[in-house]
Amino acid sequence: MPAFFSGISFWSLILLIAGVGFLVGEIFHPGFGLPGILGILALGLDILISARTFAQGLLMTAIAAVIVLVIFLIGASLFSAGKLPKKLVLQDENGSVEGFVSGDGEGAKEGDAGRALTVLRPSGIAEIGGKRLDVVTRGEFIPEGEALRVEAVEGSRIIVAAASAGE
């Protein structure tokens, strides 16, 4: 078997190492960008310039595939064990201390009255308590200018109905 690899040049080995290195870099800095493309090109060029026979090219392709598969399996095991690099896992939280607050219905309460500023089919904009708010209906169509009442507030979702519907 050593005679099989005797014709592999220094440049072929460099291209193989560079190709795998670029692909590993792409794994740890996601996004199919320049490192991934360079890695694929380096491996392809390596196989093209160093394979003297079709069988040798297939063997080199299989070796490269096994190397990439092993690296993928190592990454998958790190992922399942929760040992990924900090860059790959979102660590920050945006809370009220930092000034980020998810909508809480913008002060609208169940039973508040308002008016549809746009057609609600089923979502649109309404004026409730003097504020322009995004609202939804339970599926019914409400024309612009119609009187509304707030049926429920679920987090940032304000559910409204025509005022005449509940009377």
100 is a domain residue: no
Task: Please give the residue range of the domain that contains residue 137.
Answer: 105-166
Structurally, the chain folds into a number of domains equal to 2
| Domain final position from 62, 88, 114 | 88
pLDDT value at residue 65: 78
146 pLDDT band (50/70/90 cuts)? Answer: very high
Report d(CA 25, CA 29) in Å as an integer.
6
Is the model more confident about 155 or about 132? 132
128 and 148 Cβ atoms separated by less than 8 Å = yes
| Domain final position from 88, 115, 147 | 88
| 24 lies in the same domain as 78 | yes
What's the whole-number average pLDDT of the chain?
80
| 71 lies in the same domain as 29 | yes
Token readout for 12 is 């072929």
Mean pLDDT over 105-115 rounds to 84
| 123 lies in the same domain as 68 | no
